[in-house]
């Protein structure tokens, strides 16, 4: 597979590529840097480079991840940024929907309302349920035929699987788990930013010599675009040729209870950090979250200490959340953590250190002993809920 990515801010590893499925973001190497700066793109094992037709910039595609006619929230988030990227390129955003017709048509309608100008719809029974191989075949075939400039997928279990397979099939670059995307105004290349070196730096990666440029993006990084009721667009329908009997078939789906944490969709997130001191103290956060109808998250420090599952980690190397209320308990506010929660609608911080960086972005801050503050909060919430159930009002002290 050819080298695809050119270093612009940081470097890591031996290759200058974010290899499909490898999970590593990009970097240095003298030969790769020299080739990129010379203006000559590397050859792909003698094959013709998949570049855009001269003078024409392709569309920005978003692959809609779905179960039936219900799309993953990250797909709609990506349509919002795709519209912005397409505007900067002088192109248009498009949704790619792979499934069966009855579901595809509904998803196409929703895509237009979320900002897509076109929808590429592939209808085939082998595309439901999701299996990597047929989805890869169909998406790669569509990309070869229509030459998109950019393909975006959610950095979900399914999105990472499909993106790496398609990038390998098309011998193009792929940047995983992006937290920012923008178009370079001079080169018109997609600048793909993601954490590197365990979240200690941010690497910005480009794909100068191959097309399409591909990236997976974390859920919750971009806001949901506003819905425009009744919006319409072009539907480009196809009936892919796939074998009736696939080499792989799904027998059963067993959900992992830990995956049901659903931090991204939570209305309230109560997160604990090293200030919680030990595992048993997270019980009070569980209670507070339960009373508020939310879920428990954690900083990397709490995860590294083994108190909380990595699936609950909020931050640059964890999940990005945008709840209506984010309560940070015993979290100092390292930049890596702030990157995952700073766009919450309202932030409350509880910390005994008045100089903790978390207070710089908090809407409300409580300087005090969390082991006194949190139980008091739980008691107050319970009192207000009980009063509301009786139709009474509670005086604020």
Tokens representing 264 are 């991204």
At residue 235, the pLDDT reads: 95
Contact 190, 150 (CB under 8 A): yes
pTM of the model: 0.73
Mean pLDDT of the chain: 83
Nearest to 5 by CA among 215, 212, 184, 206: 206
Pairwise CA distance, residues 44 & 181, whole Å: 26
Residues 6+ away with beta carbon under 8 Å from 214: 150, 151, 152, 153, 163, 166, 167, 172, 173, 174, 175, 207
Contact 96, 142 (CB under 8 A): yes
**61-87 as b/e: b if 16+ CB within 10 A:** bbbbbbeebebbebbbbbbbbbbbbbe
Instruction: Quick: pLDDT tens for 315-352.
Output: 988 888 989 999 999 999 998 899 889 989 999 999 99
At residue 23, the pLDDT reads: 38
169-177: average pLDDT: 94
Q: Phi and psi dihedrals of 330, rounded to 5?
A: 65, 30
At residue 245, the pLDDT reads: 66
Least confident of 79-93, 186-200, 277-291, 373-387: 186-200
Domains of the chain: 6-29+56-238 (3.40.50.620), 258-389 (3.40.50.1220)
Tokens representing 272 are 């604990």
Across the strands, what pairs with 194? 203
Across the strands, what pairs with 94? 61, 118
Nearest to 135 by CA among 148, 125, 150, 147: 125
Instruction: Quick: pLDDT tens for 277-308.
Output: 999 999 999 999 999 999 999 999 999 999 99
At residue 32, the pLDDT reads: 34
Pairwise CA distance, residues 329 & 297, whole Å: 10
Residues 6+ away with beta carbon under 8 Å from 374: 284, 285, 288, 329, 350
């Amino acid at each position: 597979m050819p080298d695809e990515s050119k270093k612009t801010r940081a470097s890591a590893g031996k290759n200058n590529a974010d290899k499909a499925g490898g999970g590593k973001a990009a970097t240095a190497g003298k030969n790769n840097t020299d080739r990129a700066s010379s203006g000559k793109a590397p050859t792909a094992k003698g094959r013709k480079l998949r570049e855009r037709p001269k003078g024409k910039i392709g569309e920005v595609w978003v692959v809609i991840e779905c179960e039936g006619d219900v799309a993953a929230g990250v797909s709609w988030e990506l349509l919002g940024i795709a519209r912005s990227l397409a505007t900067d390129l002088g192109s248009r955003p498009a949704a790619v929907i792979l499934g069966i017709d009855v579901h595809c048509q509904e998803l196409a309608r929703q895509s237009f309302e979320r900002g897509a100008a076109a929808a590429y719809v592939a209808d085939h029974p082998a595309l439901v349920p999701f299996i990597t191989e047929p989805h890869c075949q169909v998406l790669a075939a569509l990309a070869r035929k229509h030459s998109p400039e950019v393909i975006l997928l959610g950095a979900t279990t399914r999105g990472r699987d499909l993106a790496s397979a398609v990038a390998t099939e098309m011998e193009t670059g792929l940047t995983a788990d992006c937290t920012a995307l923008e178009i370079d105004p001079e080169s018109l290349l997609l600048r793909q930013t993601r954490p590197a070196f365990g979240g200690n730096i941010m690497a910005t990666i480009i794909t100068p010599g191959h097309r399409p440029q591909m990236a997976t993006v974390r859920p919750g990084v971009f806001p949901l675009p506003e819905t425009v009721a009744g919006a319409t667009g072009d539907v480009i329908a196809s009936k892919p040729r796939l074998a009736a009997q696939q080499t792989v078939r799904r027998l059963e789906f067993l959900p992992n209870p830990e995956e049901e944490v659903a931090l991204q969709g939570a209305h309230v997130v109560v997160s604990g950090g090293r200030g919680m001191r030990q595992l048993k103290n997270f019980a009070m956060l569980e209670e507070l979250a339960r009373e508020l109808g939310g879920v428990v998250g954690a900083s990397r420090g709490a995860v590294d200490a083994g108190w909380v599952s990595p699936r609950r980690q909020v931050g640059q190397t964890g999940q990005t959340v945008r709840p209506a209320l984010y309560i940070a308990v015993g979290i100092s506010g390292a930049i890596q953590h702030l990157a995952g929660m700073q766009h919450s609608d309202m932030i409350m911080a509880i910390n005994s250190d008045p100089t903790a960086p978390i207070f710089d972005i908090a809407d409300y801050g409580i300087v005090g002993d969390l082991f006194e503050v949190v139980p008091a909060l739980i008691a107050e919430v319970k009192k207000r809920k009980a009063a509301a159930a009786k139709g009474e009002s509670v005086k604020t002290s």
